[in-house]
C-alpha cells in the first residue's frame, strides 16, 4: 500500500466559508504531487419532522450549480459554536421552527476528494413554531413532504444534495 506524507500546505485563497490550499504530498518517499485541498469550518443540518409526520425542507437557489435545490435546513458553524447548537439555530433561521428533543442521526463528509467538510445531521420530532430569521443572502421557501415522497425524489434525481440524501435515507432506515 502506498504511503502518503504531506510536506507542505500553502494557502492559495481565503474565503468567507472555505479556504483553498495547495498540498504538496510525497508518495512512497519518492514522488511529489500537489493536491487541491478546501478547508471547511464544519456544518450541521436538521431533519425537522412536523406533527403530521411530514419533513420540513428548504427550497433555495444554489449558485454553485445554478439551480434550485430541495434540502434539509443546514449551515456552517459560527466561531465557538458546537454542531448541535448550529443545527438548532439553522433550523430556526431557515424554517421558523425551533427543534427540541434533538437526536443525532448521521455524519457526512460531503466531498472527500478535495475537502474536509463534515456535516453532522440531527433530527427532531418536537418542533415549536417561531419565525424565520434568514441571512441577507438567503431566499428560502419552506415546504413539507411525506418521507416516502422525498425518497422517491432522491431516486428520480429531483434531490441531489448529499447531506439531504444521507439524512433522509438514514432517517428512513431508523424509522423502519
Residues 114 and 31 in one domain: no
Residues 118 and 153 in one domain: yes
Check whether residue 12 and residue 77 sit in a common domain.
Answer: no
pLDDT digits over 42-65, tens only?
A: 999 999 999 999 999 999 999 999
Same domain for 125 and 142, yes or no, is yes
Q: Is the pTM of this model over 0.75?
A: yes
- Same domain for 140 and 76: yes
Which grid coordinates are listed for 68?
434550485
Query: Does residue 6 sit in helix, strand or coil?
Result: strand
Query: What confidence tens digit (pLDDT) does each residue in 108-129 have?
Result: 999 999 999 999 999 999 999 9
Backbone angles phi, psi at 129, to 5 degrees: -65, 135
Domain region containing 8: 4-39
Task: Tell me which DSSP letter residue 115 carries.
Answer: B
Interval 64-108: pLDDT, tens: 999 999 999 999 999 999 999 999 999 999 999 999 999 999 999
Number of domains in the chain: 2
Angstrom CA distances, 123 to 26, 145, 171, stand at 41, 15, 8
Amino acid at each position: 500500500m502506498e504511503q502518503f506524507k504531506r510536506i507542505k500546505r500553502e494557502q492559495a485563497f481565503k474565503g468567507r466559508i472555505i479556504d483553498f490550499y495547495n498540498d504538496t504530498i510525497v508518495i512512497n518517499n519518492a514522488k511529489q504531487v500537489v493536491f487541491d485541498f478546501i478547508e471547511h469550518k464544519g456544518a450541521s443540518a436538521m431533519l425537522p419532522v412536523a406533527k403530521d409526520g411530514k419533513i420540513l425542507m428548504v427550497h433555495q437557489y444554489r449558485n454553485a450549480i445554478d439551480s434550485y435545490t430541495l434540502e434539509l435546513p443546514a449551515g456552517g458553524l459560527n466561531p465557538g459554536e458546537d454542531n448541535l447548537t448550529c443545527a438548532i439555530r439553522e433550523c430556526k433561521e431557515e424554517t421558523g421552527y425551533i427543534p427540541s428533543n434533538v437526536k443525532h442521526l448521521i455524519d457526512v463528509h460531503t466531498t472527500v476528494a478535495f475537502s474536509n467538510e463534515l456535516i453532522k445531521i440531527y433530527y427532531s420530532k418536537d418542533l415549536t413554531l417561531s419565525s424565520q430569521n434568514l441571512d441577507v443572502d438567503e431566499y428560502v421557501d419552506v415546504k413539507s413532504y411525506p418521507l416516502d415522497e422525498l425518497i422517491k425524489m432522491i431516486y428520480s434525481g429531483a434531490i441531489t444534495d448529499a447531506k439531504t440524501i444521507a439524512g433522509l435515507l438514514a432517517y428512513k432506515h431508523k424509522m423502519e
